[in-house]
Amino acid sequence: MKAAVLYESPGQLQVEDIVIDDPQPNEIIIQIAASGLCHSDLHWLDRGYPMPKPIVLGHEAAGIVARVGSEVSKVQVGDHVIGYNLGSCGDCEWCRSDRKVLCTRVGVRRDPSDRPRLSKHDGTPIETSSLAAFAEQMLVHESQAVIIDKDIAFDIAAMVGCGVPTGFGAVTRRANVYPNATVAVIGCGGIGLNAIQAAVLAGASRVIAIDVNDGKLELARQFGATDVINSSTGDVLKRLGEILPGRGGVDFSFEAIGKKATYELAFEILRPGGLATVIGVYEGDIQLPAQLFWSGERAIQGSLMGSLDFQADLPRILELYQQGRLKLEELISNRIPLEQINEGYAEISKGSVARSVVMFDV
Ligand SMILES: [Zn+2]
Ligand SMILES: [Zn+2]
């Protein structure tokens, strides 16, 4: 099958023909119809984060179940599914306590002693990033497939694999934003825009979008932001004070970029009692004023993939879309063939608002 393989980081993806293994008893092969270019893969594409190579990236995809292993019971050939970045065993303490994203019993990769899921024609193993969705097919654990309505378009469904639920769930599941709260969202890419529209649905009285790109801030307004701050042209705390005079900051903040400065900003813009939720992928250290924790009971927490019960929540997110209450089509600006994937990432890397989805014939 055709796949986009990364050999060096930073580097370009090489589209080539590779071999996909047969499914093991609890695995399935999904014929991919649409695969989104998520910003977080840039951490591996152009920032040189350490990882085994060669590797196939991509973790935001939807398609049709093509083959199932001998013990698969949750899906059938022909089902339309979203591939999810994480698996769940359904039985550990996390799965039973509604925190499926923390389940570690179901590996999203095969055991290193097993045959590789992907390999070159000469037998060289190719690593997989959870889904390895920049390819015509993906081989995953059955718990990573979420069945969806057959009338949902695959490009829409693909985005409900990562960008949409990650922003949406951080607001609705992890932070539990309540009606009339004030909310700030730092970073207005795919995840931030979905945090914004979730905050609107949750009844926030003010939703303040913060970004360095005026195009993204304009998009943020279309997704329901009541106010915008361009953080490159001014002092964010001062602007926030003008928007919310006398409040001392926001009740909830969300960081959707993945940088030291924005992690710290998410905490610093909280009013007493406020809660910051950090979503962006960042692996360094941060420094926060300790006094702000105890003197004002502020808190900061992480959210992984929207902290969702994904089997239950992804179909509900699609229902909101079908009712016209969530904007999803507006998130897609380009539909491209796999051969144009490097150009698609170059756009994202420039900070453009363009968001591409790779489309395959199925
Ligand atoms: Zn993603
Ligand atoms: Zn589990």
pLDDT of 54-103, one tens digit each? 999 999 999 999 999 999 999 999 999 999 988 888 889 999 888 889 99
Instruction: Give CA separation, 202 vs 23, 177, 178, 196, 253, in Å.
Output: 41, 6, 6, 10, 14
Which ligand is nearest the CA of 164, by number? 1
Q: Which residues of 227-237 are buried (b: 16+ CB within 10 A; e: fewer)?
A: bbbbbeeeebe
pLDDT value of position 354 = 67
Pair 310, 173: CB distance under 8 Å: no
Ligand 2 center–CA 75 separation, angstroms: 18
Which ligand is nearest the CA of 100, by number? 2
pLDDT value of position 214 = 94
Ligand 1 center–CA 71 separation, angstroms: 29
Alpha-helical segments (H) within 13-56: 42-45
pLDDT value of position 89 = 86
Blockwise average pLDDT, block size 10, the chain, 362 residues: 93 96 96 92 76 91 98 97 91 89 81 92 93 97 95 96 94 98 96 97 98 95 97 92 96 96 97 97 93 96 94 95 95 94 89 84 88
Ligand 1 center–CA 257 separation, angstroms: 12
Ligand 1 center–CA 93 separation, angstroms: 26
Ligand 1 center–CA 152 separation, angstroms: 20
Give the residue from 318, 210, 307 showing the smallest Cα distance to 254.
210
pLDDT value of position 45 = 80
Ligand 2 center–CA 187 separation, angstroms: 31
Ligand 2 center–CA 37 separation, angstroms: 28
Which ligand is nearest the CA of 91, by number? 2
pLDDT value of position 109 = 77
